[in-house]
Structure 1
């Protein structure tokens, strides 16, 4: 049964964790490296990951002998490397154009959008909210993700190179901080 209050709560929680607006500098940087981002495919891949994880996430991780904390640390390491790229201006991730053109999946769909934080949050939401309301919250966030991905070029033009460079460095530091928190929290329980 639909519960408007639950839908709003789930939507806001996921929006904060996904932080698609905050990821804009990373998205623009990736688009520059590979030429084009497949907005539809990235959104679909993110949605498929989130909905799949809602239903079978813990079981899939257990199947591979991985716990949620280890999954979060792995996602944290990838986010850390992306943050370093943004701050230092060095390329760590190989261009996916050379590797088969899967840029919409790694690192955009995972771990940028449907990363360890998002997927862990989805597992946590199951304990508090009805599944249907979580799915609606995910769909609302996917619409927002699609809009940001589709308009990244327009947003870049409005910000200009200087504004983008500053934003890129700031969000690089924020990504480093988020990754360190993810790693610290999941490596050393109780922090």
Structure 2
């Protein structure tokens, strides 16, 4: 096992931008108001488990249906591109159904808000480029950050304010857009050769 700090940091930043937990603070606060209480530990752990399990079995599922990692990575680049556009332009291209207060910690918080189509696609895209152990460390670091943000979401909103959250979303949106372009360019070459 060989850990690479650069790979861990890059994978961490990509996942952090895709999950956009800071940008989702208003959604978390809204869920907390509806549900009365959100189990931060449960939501973080379930999201982490979903991501790590998908990291191991996602590729097998793809090969079972005859899709290569490079094809999935290109599809992932498109998803990241649209998530980035949502973040930068402040528009909603995809809207989740409202959930009941009973299951708010698991659905929609752990899945699909944290471990959603964007983050799962990103994990397989990262797997095409980085070592597995580095991605796992990046996922664990993100789960820790997610837990901290969920625990302190009301304080973060008071501290940063709505404008601060919007600025952070837009900055990470631009970073995500650049990552989507790089991912697309890297994997489309592999598909065309």
Which residue matches 1:92? 93
Q: 1:119 aligns with which of 114, 124, 128?
A: 124
Report matched runs for 1:78-157 at 5 Å.
78-97=79-98, 102-104=107-109, 105-112=111-118, 114-122=119-127, 124-126=130-132, 138-157=139-158
Change (3 A) 1:65 1:20: same
Structure 1: 5+ residue stretches without partners: none
User: CA deviation digits over 1:61-107, x for unaligned, max 9?
Assistant: 10121211222233332222222222222221113316997432124
RMSD: 3.7
Shift, 1:147, TM fit: 1.6
**Equivalent position SS for 1:95:** coil
TM-score in terms of structure 2 length = 0.68
Change (3 A) 1:49 1:88: same
TM-score in terms of structure 1 length = 0.69
Which residue matches 1:69? 70
Structure 2: 5+ residue stretches without partners: 33-37
Which residue matches 1:15? 12
Change (3 A) 1:11 1:82: closer
